[in-house]
Structure 1
Amino acid sequence: MRPIDEMLARAQGHARFHMPGHKGTLDPFDMTELPSTDDLYNPQGAIREAERRIARSAGAGDAILLTGGATAGNLAMLLYASTRYRSIRMERTAHVSAVSGLVLGDMAVGESGAVFATRPDYFGRAGALPRAELLMVDEAHGAHFTWWDSPPSAGRLGADLWVQSAHKTLPALTGGAWLFMKDASLYPQLLHLLRMVMTSSPPFPILRSLDNARALMDERGAQLLRQTTALCDAARAKINALPGLSAPRMDDPTRLVIDVSGRGLTGFHAAALLGEMGVDVEMGGAREVVCIATVCDTEESFARLTSALERLPQGNDTIREFAPVYGVPRMRPRQAALSPIERVPLDCARGRIAAQAAGLYPPGSAWLMPGDEIPPEAVEALEAAAAAGAGTFGLQGGKISVVR
């Protein structure tokens, strides 16, 4: 059963004197809240049924459909935590959206009964989760974990709240995600918080794609994931047989992490070369490229990847690891983010207080958070990473926002 799909199909055929302005010419399923549809922020029909179905699939007490990606879910989780805690335990490898949650909730990173964890990471590593009074997990890269046991999902490991980006690893439109809760009684409060951080015009095509992805995975997700894993394992075997390349099996076997340093290439350079050969990867790093495989991949797409990898030339790049260098907290993140700011060249920011987050993107973790004193070593590390080809955020035009 696909309740949102069926609801939107029944609503077709009317003259549309309502939003959106394209009147169905761009996408007939892009509609607005009508008596024949439903309302994400007051779901009574198909949307509520879709939420109950994905909650059952995930073993959660309840769930909320998201059209603002895992970012919206992270913000809602942290806003909820801020009603109970003034600080939170959070690794500096957390996504930049979690930093925004600290700002909105006026929380600082420190000792706390509340923990915000990230699992899996960009590289498919899915370690153990800590114990906490309130355990929140950014499981953005693990939406497919719901339909298999290894690695298990955050919900099965005891998380109180967790968010998954369906659009990252399942056949769902960009922005489609789910927020899960162990305690169903939190549903009204979390929905209230989400309304503050997510659009008041949630796109029905995204909601439809979320429920269709859930239905597909409920019907044959385990089988599809076994097939995808087999394709990944076969690709890894071929890659490991190529000179200068290696691809270890990660905790998430659908994540391909390919070390290209043996070819004398940085991951940044290799990613660019692969793009020229018609293969776009998720990210390049100092030594590796990262590829996301999903149930939508085929033998043909894997063949194109392994063929392109085989054709990578022998390079002469300087391989340098870019270990993150973090700032030193001096102000609460909210105080710094909402202070008067000025933009200064990164090279002139040593010793200043960052007013916004900055780091490498992907993966989007903040080396500098609002309120951090910027150490010289962080400036040098960010400059070196950018010069090597890494993507950055918070450094538009080589400048960073600092507290005036």
Structure 2
Amino acid sequence: MSTDQTMSTTALTSKVTLADIESAAKLLDGVIVKTPVDHSRALGRLTGSSVYLKCENLQRAGSFKVRGAYVRMARLSDEEKACGVVAASAGNHAQGVALAASKLGIKARIYMPLGVALPKLAATKDHGAEVVLHGENVDEALAEAQRYAEESGAIFIHPFDNPDVIAGQGTIGLEILEQLPEVDTIVMGVGGGGLLSGVATAVKARAKQMGRDIKVIGVQAENAAAYPPSLAADAVVPLDRVSTIADGIAVGKPGALPFKIIRELVDEVVTVSEDGLAQALIFLLERSKMVVEPAGASGVAALLENKLKEIGIESKNTVVVLSGGNIDPMLMLKVIQRGLSAASRFLTVKIMLHDRAGELATISRIIAEADANVTGVDHTRIGGSLSMGDVSITIDMETKGEEHSEEVLNALRSAGYQPITVN
């Protein structure tokens, strides 16, 4: 990636300028919440620097998306507004468009896939949008939304590949500089690139005016990371497959305009693991009392996995953008369990034993004496690997960490059992 900042910021981002973002901020005044920047002492202790959280999970409609959606629609002509708008999304963009449309008095139709989470469906409807369920995934819903736009004349609101949308998202960068002028590194998740490109445009332009160097870092889930190969090839490279718990950044192809901006202005795009995302979500729940979706926690995951140090960045004052908090409760349950397991605080073991009275009671006693808490037991006598008179027991339990988990396993082994850990 080019890190040469000697070229004109305006020239590099000719389609989105600092002036565009400042104008967008005026449009958004009184419409959105100027979300807080909270100091995280817990992250500071782990990273050895001052870390702050830009809490866009507390934004109206639960994410940053309303910023770009509102700016895009506010700049439509009266004739275009009269045609209505259409969008496709499984979550945050849908709610952002629906809320913005209700504020502007514009009719909105949102296409959502058939399997969309019920809370997100209900929230989108509550903002007054007409919701149409179509397709098995967002891509199919997106194709139908575009078809409807061509057929009806409704204005299609793209989630990231539009200069007005990018300008709206970039207002977050202006707020961060106002709230924490001494910031030297800003970290955030990236899917299609609207948020990252907008913030980079605002921050790099303002930093140049101040004669400072502020690093801007993007974060992708390693199983949905289209930007690293695209940046390496200096061209947009779509992924064949995307699979991540961070559905908010599960985008298989960078936007054309965001890619151009990110290629020139962003210092680095790093990737994080699925376990890292889960652990970050739990960290924010426990230590910051923040409900954040996996995509919104990606920046924290990057800090927990020491990604800044890996790329040679020493930061004194780091801001992480918590981009959204719209998480389905059922997904949260799964993510919490995965995160606890990754942190060795949730242990699942399978034990093969003879089917005789007292065995389960003995195992339960050993686990209790090791101060672990059993949360679930699965007991089966049927299976291809089981002999007559044998039984397979799978036990879920809470532990205090990696060292404690090993103590529990050793206690079972000392009693003659052969526990097999299950991921």
Does the alignment reach a TM-score above 0.5? no
Please tell me the TM-score bracket, short chain as reference.
under 0.3
Q: Which structure has the highest helix share of the two?
A: 2
Q: Which has the higher contact order (CA 8 A, sep 6+)?
A: 2
Larger radius of gyration: 2
TM-score by length of 1: 0.26
TM-score by length of 2: 0.25
